[in-house]
């Protein structure tokens, strides 16, 4: 034992570090994306028809994944009673979304597009978007916790769309999401540590940066291929 004490110490550090990295990776919601749970699919089958859905019937809960109807597009819009703003971006069958009311509700979602059906959910599974989409629009249901609303989102192009900024200020992580609608209005929130605070204004002419508490934030446009729930 004593002969190898330094190596055992090294081993202990290595094992502890590896275990913690492993735990983080296991608990990391980002590593579970791209595969909506059966529960979410089941919800989709029952909820989607109730939504302000277009004429195309939702595909049956098919086991065979259909190719995505839209290769790459961003959508932005609101729920029917203007409760929340919704942004969606899709690319090659992958999709991300952001729900935000600008005050105290926000959620980042990830999921998939199968045929014209979109299914997104947040890391904790509490928020979902189930919708159908084509090149011009996405219509469906957005759910936050126990509330759900029908929503309509238009296909948009820059500077409308979904933006994200991340910065660490004074040791606190700030993660800001913005949705810029075609009419120029923007809805955003800043998750500052565990708190939600108003997002800084994003200049539509220069949406590549913003300022939080005096600190510059690099802002990126979120596309369907981006990872928004951890990495």
Partner 1 sequence: MNAAPHPAGSAARTTTVVLAFGVGTLVAVGLGVYGRVHDASFFAFNLAGFSSGAAAKAWLASVAFLFGLVQLFSALVMYGRIKIAAPRWIDTLHRWSGRIAVLVTVPVAVHCLYALGFEADPLRGLVHSVAGCFFYGAFVAKMLVLQRHEAPGWALPVLGGAVFTALTVLWLTAAGWFFTTSGIHL
| Residues making contact with partner 1 (CB under 8 A) | 4-7, 9-10, 12-13, 16-17, 20-21, 23-25, 27-30, 166, 168, 170-173, 175, 193-194, 227, 230-231
Sign of CA dihedral 164, 74, 27, 105: positive
* Closer by beta carbon to partner 1, 17 or else 145: 17
Q: Are 41 and 59 in contact (CB under 8 A)?
A: no
Write the DSSP string, 125-138. Answer: SSEEEEEEE-SSEE
* Closer by beta carbon to partner 1, 19 or else 158: 19
Closest distance of CB 93 from partner 1, Å: 21
Closest distance of CB 171 from partner 1, Å: 4
Beta bridge partners of 52: none
Rg (CA), the chain: 20
* Closer by beta carbon to partner 1, 60 or else 171: 171
Structural tokens at position 144: 């936050």
* Closer by beta carbon to partner 1, 107 or else 139: 107
Closest distance of CB 185 from partner 1, Å: 27
Write the DSSP string, 91-153. Answer: ETTEEEEEEE-SSS-EEEEEEEEETTEEEEEETTSSEEEEEEE-SSEEEEEEEETTEEEEEEE
Closest distance of CB 164 from partner 1, Å: 11
Closest distance of CB 18 from partner 1, Å: 9
* Closer by beta carbon to partner 1, 110 or else 160: 110
* Closer by beta carbon to partner 1, 137 or else 166: 166
Closest distance of CB 190 from partner 1, Å: 13
Beta bridge partners of 196: 191
Peptide bond into 91 cis (omega under 30): no
Beta bridge partners of 116: none
């Amino acid at each position: 034992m004593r002969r190898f004490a330094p190596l055992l110490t090294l081993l202990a550090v290595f094992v502890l570090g590896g275990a913690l990295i492993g735990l983080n990776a296991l608990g990391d919601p980002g590593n579970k994306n791209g595969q909506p749970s059966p529960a979410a699919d089941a919800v989709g089958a029952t909820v989607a028809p109730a939504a302000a859905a277009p004429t195309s019937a939702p595909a049956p809960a098919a086991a065979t994944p259909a190719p995505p109807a839209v290769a790459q597009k961003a959508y932005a819009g609101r729920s029917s009673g203007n409760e929340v703003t919704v942004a969606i971006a899709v690319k090659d069958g992958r999709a991300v979304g952001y729900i935000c009311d600008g005050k105290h509700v926000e959620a980042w979602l990830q999921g998939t597009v199968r045929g014209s059906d979109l299914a997104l959910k947040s890391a904790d599974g509490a928020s979902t978007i189930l919708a159908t989409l084509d090149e011009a629009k996405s219509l469906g249901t957005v759910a936050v916790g126990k509330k759900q609303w029908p929503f309509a989102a238009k296909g948009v192009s820059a500077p409308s769309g979904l933006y994200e900024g991340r910065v660490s200020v004074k040791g606190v992580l700030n993660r800001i999401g913005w949705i810029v609608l075609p009419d120029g209005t923007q809805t955003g929130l800043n998750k500052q540590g565990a708190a939600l605070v108003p997002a800084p204004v994003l200049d539509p002419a220069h949406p590549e940066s913003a300022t939080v508490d005096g600190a510059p934030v690099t802002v990126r446009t979120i596309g369907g291929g981006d990872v928004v729930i951890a990495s």
